Amino acid sequence: MTSQPVVSQPVHRSGALLDHLARRMRLRAESVLAPFRLRPRHLVALTVLRGRDGITQQALSITLEMDGTNIVGLLNELEAEDLIERRRSPEDRRRHLVALTEAGAKRLAEAECALAAVEKEVLGALDDSQREALHSLLLQAAMGSDVSCPLD
């Protein structure tokens, strides 16, 4: 007589839920960011630059996990909108430092306000304290992995 396999309670996995919420968040964010002429990757770059006096293109490329060609394209787009500026490093004239402009800081703040509404919509089933707890847990998970988290 063959024995039946033991069936345990299903293990709760978060990956599919996180993916679903991330897709919803990205779709809504893209539509909300469009009037600001920004895409999510622009927002991440501007967020990394906020509060810094300048960062090398290479360091920004590493932080954003983008190759050199793609980082140059991204920076060209942001510079064309006067959201960032590139200047020669005083320590090493071969390097460029990238910094947020006043216009970039203003556009970032406006976009973040619009995105707060998106976050509230997508995570509407959670109250403020639950959203704060979720943020803390996600940040903890991001910091505990080998991936740097440039957004906090």
Residue 83: CB atoms within 10 A of its CB come to: 25
* Domain range annotation of the chain: 21-139
Dihedral angle over CA of 95, 98, 101, 105, nearest 10:
-170
Tens-place pLDDT, residues 45-65: 999 999 888 999 889 999 898
Whole-prediction pTM: 0.76
- Asked if 47 and 151 touch (Cβ cutoff 8 Å), the reply is yes
Amino acid letter for position 141: A
Residues 6+ apart with CB under 8 A from 41: 64, 74
With contact defined as beta carbons under 8 Å apart, do 39 and 107 qualify? no
The pLDDT tens digits for 11-31 are 778 889 999 999 999 999 999
Q: Which CATH class is domain 21-139?
A: mainly alpha
